Amino acid sequence: MAAPLASKAGSAGTNSKPPFPELDFRSGARVEELNKLIQEFTKHDQREYDDQRALEIHTAKDFIFSMLGMVQKLDQKLPVANEYLLLSGGVREGVVDIDLDDLNVYARGTDYDMDFTLLVPALKLHDRNQPVTLDMRHSALCHSWLSLRLFDEGTISKWKDCCTIVDHINGATNYFFSPTKVADWFYDSISIVLSEIQKKPQRGMPKVEKVEKNGTIISIILGVGSSRMLYDIVPVVSFKGWPAVAQSWLMENHFWDGKITEEEVISGFYLVPACSYKGKKDNEWRLSFARSEVQLKKCISSSLMQAYQACKAIIIKLLSRPKAISPYHLRSMMLWACDRLPASYLAQEDYAAHFLLGLIDDLQHCLVNKMCPNYFIPQCNMLEHLSEETVMLHARKLSSVRSDPAEHLRTAIEHVKAANRLTLELQRRGSTTSIPSPQSDGGDTNQPDDRLAKKLQQLVTENPGKSISVFINPDDVTRPHFRIDDKFF
């Protein structure tokens, strides 16, 4: 960590002694320089959107929600009035705890300009009393199977082709909701709908540049005007309430106590289609607390978030092979640090360098000890399955970062600047005219869209990096129903 302030020896009889600059003990880097580099990274990483880009973002969102409405109408499997969670940042950015091994590599600037993750409930259990008890007998910690016996006969009938079947000795049949079969169904349904949409293209409709199934995730890249937007769509099971396995976590003291209410934190959780290292992929789901994390993020200081984003950019490049550490691990460590350290310390605006160095130290400590507890279920060690060889390889790589953090920050800055240059080049080659939304006929109806574009620009500016919860009715996709944290629009 950074060295304390010291003083040079002054001339005899002088009381004032010029101070040394604050230094990082391990690397000798000036803390002031590291702070400036983090600020520069943030400036290039968080781009401002003009009216045109804001309208393109809205057009892409409109298209995705319209598409999901059509998927619901195919076979009525999805809930009619569904509640999505839209997160800024793709799955590869660690916004949800999903293994990255099965995902194709996409690069910002080369493949897309902006990325989002959309959690789409295939099933909802919203009338359950707290706490929610899951069938974890066959699973590792933080994972569960899901029996359709919790649902009515109509739901079982609709979804049994996406289940694995277990026959009991007493002759009863149990249907377990299968994450892999659900993902296969979802990908096939989306492909059918997109094929139908593209047969009757409308003016201003986004161009579907890529649709790929990455493990249990469906990745769609849309071209809208001069923008390319990546949507990682994740089929999930949505619950109201809180899982019994995480009940003890609520009994502890946390950094968010007194800042947000417990009701906001425990309003719901998800099962996402990811299994444990030794789990059965066809049956096992992973618990996700993405909805809670959206709330907790409101209590994290901007300087710590800047350090986290810079650290994430460094480790994504450095620790990509073999895939063992994901940005979600780093996010968990940041939440633990918020619980461990005084709020007054974490609120210091000029401490981003200290936070960056601390996150690197924390990550290295977790690797050396092969221990990274899940923030909500601490008894679950997210690094338990890694080999000693893998953790030591990554620990050594992090040691090189810790020895020269300034150089690695400069590399991260160059990468994000290069991505932005690629985006600007595409924009220069693309259309410079206004892009109407898919519903627009190019006439006077553009005026409301322009007003919406300005409103969206204001929302993006005022809520950088925040996540959006979306409420959509497939029978009425013409009106926006979205929420940024606790604000509705």
> pLDDT at position 462, please?
55
Span 58-70, pLDDT tens digits = 999 999 999 999 9
- How far, in Å, CA of 216 to CA of 103, rounded? 9
Q: Would you say residue 335 has pLDDT above 90?
A: yes
Q: Assign a CATH topology to domain 31-427.
A: Beta Polymerase; domain 2 (3.30.460)
180-227 confidence digits (pLDDT tens)? 999 999 999 999 999 999 888 888 889 999 999 999 999 999 999 889
Where does the pLDDT of residue 254 fall: very low under 50, low under 70, confident under 90, or very high at 90 and above?
very high
Confidence at residue 305, expressed as pLDDT on a 0 to 100 scale: 97
| The pLDDT of residue 137 is above 50 | yes
What's the mean per-residue pLDDT of the chain?
A: 84
More confident position, 48 or 292: 292
Angstrom CA distances, 9 to 20, 21, 179, 292, stand at: 10, 14, 67, 52
- Between 272 and 225, the more confident residue is 272
- Taking residue 220's Cβ as centre, other Cβ atoms within 10 Å add up to 23
Structure confidence at residue 132 (pLDDT)? 77
Tell me, what's the pLDDT at 458? 56
* pLDDT reported for residue 464: 52
- What whole-number percentage of the chain has pLDDT above 70? 82
Contact partners, residue 227, CB within 8 Å, separation at least 6: 53, 56, 57, 60, 113, 114, 427
Q: Percent of the chain beyond pLDDT 90?
A: 62
Average pLDDT over residues 345-366: 96
Q: What is the pLDDT of residue 248?
A: 93
If pLDDT is split at 50, 70 and 90, which confidence band does 456 have? low
Residue 8 or residue 340, greater confidence:
340
Alpha helices in 200-297 (DSSP H): 262-265, 290-297
From CA 347, how far away is CA 301, in angstroms rounded?
Answer: 6
Q: Which of 14-18, 301-305, 466-470 has the lowest mean pLDDT?
A: 466-470
Peptide bond into 322 cis (omega under 30): yes
pLDDT band at 166 (very low <50, low <70, confident <90, very high): confident
Domain boundaries, the chain: 31-427
pLDDT winner (highest mean) among 81-95, 422-436, 475-489: 81-95
Higher pLDDT, 244 or 16: 244
* Residue 301 φ then ψ, to 5°: -65, 155
The predicted-structure confidence for 375-422, as pLDDT tens digits, reads as follows 999 999 999 999 999 999 999 999 999 999 999 999 999 999 999 998
What is the C-alpha end-to-end distance of the chain, expressed in Å?
43
* Mean pLDDT on 411-434: 79
Confidence at residue 463, expressed as pLDDT on a 0 to 100 scale: 57
pLDDT of residue 365: 96
Tell me: the pLDDT tens digits for 290-328? Answer: 999 999 999 999 999 999 999 999 998 888 777 788 999
Task: Please check whether residue 93 is in contact with residue 103, taking contact to mean a CB–CB distance below 8 angstroms.
Answer: no
Return the DSSP state at 145: B
Would you call 117 helix, strand, or coil by DSSP?
strand
For residue 39, pLDDT beyond 90: yes
- pLDDT number for residue 226: 85
